[in-house]
Amino acid sequence: MAAGPLSGSPLAGKPSAPGPKRQGQSPHPKQPADDWNLTKHGKVIYLTFDDGPHAGWTPKVLQILRKHHAQATFFVLGAEAAKRPDLVEQTRAAGHHIGNHTWDHPMLTKLPADKMRQEIFSGVKSKCFRPPFRDTNAAVAAVAKANHQRQVLWDVDTNDWKKPGAASIEHAILAGAYPGAIVLMHDGGGNRTQTVAALERAMTKLQRKGYTFRALPC
């Protein structure tokens, strides 16, 4: 059953208490976590990757995840998935989960209602949906729900799409990490050399601190 927007709030179903913003975390307020209590598994982080699958970068991300015995969630574009269905299946076969990131990454709230619905319904089949650019409102959420998909946002924004350098991306992951955090990165949409380098280093350091990595229940 589809529900509302989700980030990995430590207070499932309740508004987060005000406090200092975590470094690397999105400036947007957390959303209610509904019945997904992502903190119940202890020191687990939920890595997510948007805009793929990409023929070059997605396999590199998969290789790193395999090395660290980790699972993640890939929010794929329908247009890219249609070009590389084998890579989508390879990702699933490796134990990762697939989410819907629309057909081709528009600003959904700027679209007419019929076009917005088409973008969401044309994406991959999944229990989860992530709006591009975090651009959402009640109408977007309602269409996702009608498509039987839970809207999933994030807690930690690495801003890797800006290509700030691998060290900056790594720092965002490490500084924002806490049990139940949802981390946003990208395996598509451009050159992801920095993301791949940062991912390897950050995962190694987080595992030394006792963290594990799971896929969202999509």
Active-site annotation, residues: 50, 186
CA–CA separation, 195 and 84 (whole Å)? 21
DSSP code of 29? P
8 Cβ partners below 8 Å, 6+ apart? 33, 38, 39, 46, 155, 180, 181, 182
What is the Cα gyration radius of the chain?
16
Place of tokens 């509904």: 34
Q: Whole-angstrom Cα distance, residue 79 to residue 76? A: 9
State both tokens at 160.
Answer: 């890797």
Query: Which tokens hold the place of 207?
Result: 């595992």
Q: Burial, 45: exposed, middle or buried (Cβ in 10 Å; 0-12, 13-18, 19+)?
A: buried
